[in-house]
Copies of this chain bind each other. A is one copy, B any other.
């Protein structure tokens, strides 16, 4: 079950011919209402794709009736012509659906710097509209059509009971393991049949992404195209309070974020970095992010080596005004074994078994406050180097 699980949504995934592989490459998600609240969160990169430029403007009124997504080309660094391609795609979808182009969001993923085959894309739109359906198969087809180096389609659904009735949230995402990959862009569409004012949609989506996608950092590379969209149809007639909505949207985003990590390019280990007893959440996040971006730490995990010295040296790179702590008080546990206590060696690293499972946990205790966060990353492997040295050549 996926974006079509909530009432009021149809989806499609078809092959427009943008990918050399001949795999599906064009997805469409349509909100049939009765309401059309929408919100979106985009990459913070200053270099952004034409679809991001278009969609940022299109979602400003808090409404959207459709999202059209393609793989096989990111439409980034493609100049005024590229923006015209994104605009023409929205116009074509709008024409076919009998709605306004300003209610159509566009998202693209693939290689940067290459114009899309706009004729194929535009010709695919009527095919996608013709394939629209509200069933599981259609939702899965859409999730499949946005895949690039992903090995599996990523979907999630939650049904939430409230005193006034039941509402459903569904979602799909693509991205080979990173929040912010430069090429394997993260795209995500979340749908709900709850009745949601646009302001609540925006608040719930921002709260959800802050603690989910923003806490996945596979390789530190920020995309030019990352897009997360929430659309609410109101078809269930149920109006949840903001807290219930936020919780449900956060669960969907967390589920999808974990699926991204689990399918990360070339990864052999998922690493959950938990930082405890920080002065603030931001301090904890800064420490976790410093560790997650160390190639030396990540290569050590690939080698099943609980190398706490590399972890500590990354923790030490965080400026004191960002994360106050005393280096002489740091504890580090790997898979639950406290290999470093008070800044020095403690339990024998030989006690840590990293080969047994894909999952690895680091727990870093700063002994400075009571804030805690968890950030997800992956190890650095030969396959990562191989995939990313061969991608466009």
Would you call A310 an interface residue if the criterion is a C-beta within 8 Å of the partner chain's C-beta atoms? yes
Q: Which residue of B lies closest to A309 (CB)?
A: B112
Contact pattern, A 300-311, Cβ under 8 Å of B = 1, otherwise 0:
101111011110
Would you call A79 an interface residue if the criterion is a C-beta within 8 Å of the partner chain's C-beta atoms? yes
A51 to chain B, nearest CB (A): 15
A112 and B313 contacting across the interface, CB-CB below 8 Å: yes
How many angstroms from the CA of A27 to the CA of B385 in the assembled complex? 37
Q: CB < 8 Å: which of B77, B182, B222, B294 contacts A344? A: B77
A308 and B113 contacting across the interface, CB-CB below 8 Å: yes
A313 and B388 contacting across the interface, CB-CB below 8 Å: no
Q: Which residues of B contact A340 (CB under 8 A)?
A: 77, 113
Q: Which residue of B lies closest to A390 (CB)?
A: B303
Q: CB < 8 Å: which of B113, B309, B310, B386 contacts A382? A: B386
Would you call A195 an interface residue if the criterion is a C-beta within 8 Å of the partner chain's C-beta atoms? no
Copies in the complex: 2
Q: CB < 8 Å: which of B45, B344, B381 contacts A317? A: B45
A376 to chain B, nearest CB (A): 17
Q: Which residue of B lies closest to A293 (CB)?
A: B220
Q: Which residue of B lies closest to A386 (CB)?
A: B382
| 4 additional contacts (CB under 8 A) given A48-B316, A304-B393 | A48-B327, A299-B389, A380-B389, A382-B382
Would you call A254 an interface residue if the criterion is a C-beta within 8 Å of the partner chain's C-beta atoms? no
How many angstroms from the CA of A344 to the CA of B305 in the assembled complex? 43
How many angstroms from the CA of A293 to the CA of B316 in the assembled complex? 18
Q: Which residue of B lies closest to A313 (CB)?
A: B182
The residues of A with any CB-CB pair to B shorter than 8 Å are 45-48, 74, 76-79, 111-114, 181-183, 219-224, 293-296, 299-300, 302-305, 307-310, 312-318, 320, 327, 330, 340, 342-345, 380-382, 384-386, 388-393
Q: Which residue of B lies closest to A346 (CB)?
A: B113
Q: List 22 A-B contacts (CB under 8 A).
A: A46-B317, A46-B320, A47-B312, A47-B315, A48-B327, A77-B309, A112-B313, A113-B312, A113-B340, A113-B344, A113-B345, A114-B345, A181-B296, A182-B313, A219-B295, A221-B296, A224-B313, A295-B388, A300-B392, A302-B389, A307-B391, A380-B385
Interface centre among A77, A305, A392, A393 (most CB of B within 10 A): A77
Interface centre among A76, A224, A313, A327 (most CB of B within 10 A): A313
Q: CB < 8 Å: which of B182, B294, B299, B316 contacts A296? A: B182
B385 and A381 contacting across the interface, CB-CB below 8 Å: yes
Q: Which residues of B contact A384 (CB under 8 A)?
A: 295, 299, 385
Interface centre among A113, A220, A300, A303 (most CB of B within 10 A): A113
Q: Which residues of B contact A309 (CB under 8 A)?
A: 74, 76-77, 111-113, 182-183
- Knowing A46-B318, A182-B294, the reply to whether A300 touches B220 (Cβ < 8 A) is no
B222 and A299 contacting across the interface, CB-CB below 8 Å: no
A183 to chain B, nearest CB (A): 7
Q: Which residue of B lies closest to A76 (CB)?
A: B309
